[in-house]
Structure 1
Amino acid sequence: MTADKNASPQLTVFIGSLEEKSDEFYRKNKNILPHIARVLLVATFLEDGLRILTQFEMQRRYIAGVWACGLFVSSALIVISVFCQLVPAGLILFRRYVDVACLALIFEVFFQRFIYNIAWDEMIPNEFARIGAVLLLLAEACNDANAVPILYKAADHYVDLQNLTNWLQLAGRVFLAFSVEFGITPLQIIKLIVGFSLAILIIIGYKTKLSATVLACWLTLFNFYKVISGWMHNEIMEILIYGFFLNITVVGGLLNVIALGPGTKSIDSKKKYW
């Protein structure tokens, strides 16, 4: 019993020490974290858009076969898909019309599933995770009138921008939780337990920055492990690379959580009034 009683205070002290060190890290890097987050967040869209361009002939023939629509129509669909990835990614990186760019990226997530006729029960968690990262990016951009000029104009008449930002942060955290992968091997089960536990803390906004930091490191570790372990299997490399950049985008979303904090829709925020 004595050991059990001592364990809890020791754990509390350990977590408190981690929070202090992480807070110090955030303060020192608060100006650079959002920039890194943006680069990581658009990584999957840049990779996918450029890959489709390099495989343009193969992609347009595939879509033409799926929809029996002819090469002209399939080419137009691919051009729209590439445009809706590369152009918004560029706008986000240069902080121009981020509100429009984020909407375009969300549209692209669904548009791509449509043109490739992907079943809606396949890869849905991954798509939700990407949408969550985009929503967090939009929430971060709401602090800059030059980055979201349309939202700022709407805020004069129709939108409570601060309230919208808080809801975007909450929705983004919830969608990011879909990045947790299920599996049946011992390693996958450990990854699921750790990832799911951290995701729940991020969703409810409890010790949010620390939880997001640990989950970002956890995902990065397994991201590189998965690619390195499957490097010799050429038949699945394209899937592994897609998953790699998808997880990079999720890490970018987590960095936005770290940079922004949880917002008012969180336990961390409510604790100030307890």
Structure 2
Amino acid sequence: MAARINIARPNPPAYTPDPHGFGNARPAPAYRAAPANPDDPVEKLRQYASKVEDLIDIYSQPLRPHLPAIGRFLIVVTFLEDALRIVTQWGDQLWYLQKHRHFPWGISHLFLFINVVVMLAGSYLTITKKHTEFAVAGLFSVVIIQGFGYGLIFDLNFFLRNLSVIGGLLMVFSDSLSTRKAAFAGLPMLSETDRRKYFQLAGRVLLIFLFLGFMLQGEWSFSRLLVSIVGLGLCGMVAVGFKAKWSAAFLVIILSVFNVFVNNWWSIHSKHPQRDFLKYDFFQTLSIVGGLLLLVNMGPGGLSVDEKKKVY
């Protein structure tokens, strides 16, 4: 039998699964972004906006569950007031339509009757969230018909204000749309989610036209100029959907204060002709405030800067 011979050999090198050192247990220095400059005006504005958003979220929590109902009621309050005005001033309305608008006797009665019925029915359906599409279509038709019937369609202030009211109605309609898909999936149809995005965009843009009307009427002063500049900036933010919730909340505050101090119809004598104009403006502004409240509750929608920031 051959003898076993032990020959000393050097120990083999240890097996290294990562010969290049990529698996080194020592953590590599992490990449850190450069700290933001606290003196940068843009950074200060971003921090301020963040604080404002937090405050709005905190103080609006108790009211948030009720915002849709409040918004819907305020949007239709101008139609309810208008229906009450027609009923209580029936004779004066007929006289104006027949004397100044040259409506035939029966047509003037029918015109007023249809307006009252559609406004009351549409307001009820909007508040109760029943058949919202028909309610919005009916109230939208009232805005158009009254503009032509009373000869106000070419009045710039009336036109801008009613564009804002239509914007509020579109916000109501977009709020009612669910996320279910179209019934015929194979056809090139928009889903209700897409429809909601487009209606929210249109509603946002139309809501801000009230401020344009405010800037075009009345006498200028320093306070009016300041409010106009601030309001115009907020309206631009609402239109593009940038910080839309808190900019809409600020517009609600500004419009509410403006409405109480400027459209104070209750301080005018009941026989004064200016009382009806102020009352009309007061309730129309309330309707636009209702549309902005729905915007605060729903957000700006998919076609907005705020939504795009979430993606990118």
Give TM-score scaled by structure 1 length: 0.89
Who is 1:213 aligned against?
Answer: 249
Structure 1 CA distance, aligned partners of 2:74 and 2:178? 20
Q: How many residue pairs get matched?
A: 263
8 Å Cα contact 1:130-1:246 kept in structure 2: yes
* 1:23-62 pair list within 5 angstroms: 23-62=57-96
* 1:112-261 pair list within 5 angstroms: 112-122=146-156, 123-143=158-178, 155-157=182-184, 158-180=189-211, 181-182=214-215, 183=217, 184-186=219-221, 187-228=223-264, 231-232=267-268, 234-261=272-299
8 Å Cα contact 1:88-1:104 kept in structure 2: yes
Structure 1 CA distance, aligned partners of 2:254 and 2:130? 32
8 Å Cα contact 1:206-1:266 kept in structure 2: yes
- Of stretches 250-259 and 191-200 in structure 1, the one that deviates more from structure 2 is 191-200
1:70 is aligned with what amino acid?
A: P
Give structure 1 stretches of 5+ with no counterpart.
145-151
Who is 2:134 aligned against?
Answer: 100
- Of stretches 181-190 and 218-227 in structure 1, the one that deviates more from structure 2 is 181-190
* 1:68-87 pair list within 5 angstroms: 68-87=102-121
Quote the offset at 1:16 in angstroms: 1.2
Quote the offset at 1:57 in angstroms: 1.3
SS at match of 1:31: helix
Who is 1:272 aligned against?
Answer: 310
Q: What are the superposed Cα offsets for residues 225-251 of structure 1, whole Å, 9 maximum, x if unpaired?
A: 113388246331111111110110000
Please tell me the root mean square deviation across aligned C-alpha atoms, in Å. Answer: 2.1
Give structure 2 stretches of 5+ with no counterpart.
1-37
Quote the offset at 1:269 in angstroms: 0.1
Who is 2:25 aligned against?
Answer: none
- Distance change >3 Å, CA 28–CA 67, structure 1 → 2: closer
1:265 is aligned with what amino acid?
A: L
SS at match of 2:50: helix
Give TM-score scaled by structure 2 length: 0.79
Structure 2 CA distance, aligned partners of 1:191 and 1:11? 20
SS at match of 1:42: helix
Say which structure is richer in helix.
1
Structure 2 CA distance, aligned partners of 1:6 and 1:205? 24
Quote the offset at 1:101 in angstroms: 0.3
Quote the offset at 1:155 in angstroms: 3.5
Structure 1 CA distance, aligned partners of 2:90 and 2:264? 28
Please say which structure displays the higher CA radius of gyration.
Answer: 2
Structure 2 CA distance, aligned partners of 1:256 and 1:13? 26
1:86 is aligned with what amino acid?
A: L
Structure 1 CA distance, aligned partners of 2:60 and 2:132? 24
Structure 2 CA distance, aligned partners of 1:67 and 1:246? 24
1:252 is aligned with what amino acid?
A: G
Structure 2 CA distance, aligned partners of 1:8 and 1:163? 33
Structure 2 CA distance, aligned partners of 1:229 and 1:222? 13
Q: What are the superposed Cα offsets for residues 76-125 of structure 1, whole Å, 9 maximum, x if unpaired?
A: 01111112211100111111111100011111101011111224243110
Quote the offset at 1:7 in angstroms: 5.3
Structure 2 CA distance, aligned partners of 1:210 and 1:95? 26
- Of stretches 92-101 and 157-166 in structure 1, the one that deviates more from structure 2 is 157-166
Quote the offset at 1:143 in angstroms: 3.3
- Deviating 4+ runs (over 6 angstroms): none
8 Å Cα contact 1:66-1:117 kept in structure 2: no
8 Å Cα contact 1:61-1:71 kept in structure 2: no
* 1:4-15 pair list within 5 angstroms: 5=39, 8-15=42-49
Structure 2 CA distance, aligned partners of 1:28 and 1:168? 28
SS at match of 1:96: coil
8 Å Cα contact 1:213-1:254 kept in structure 2: yes
Percent identity among equivalent residues? 29
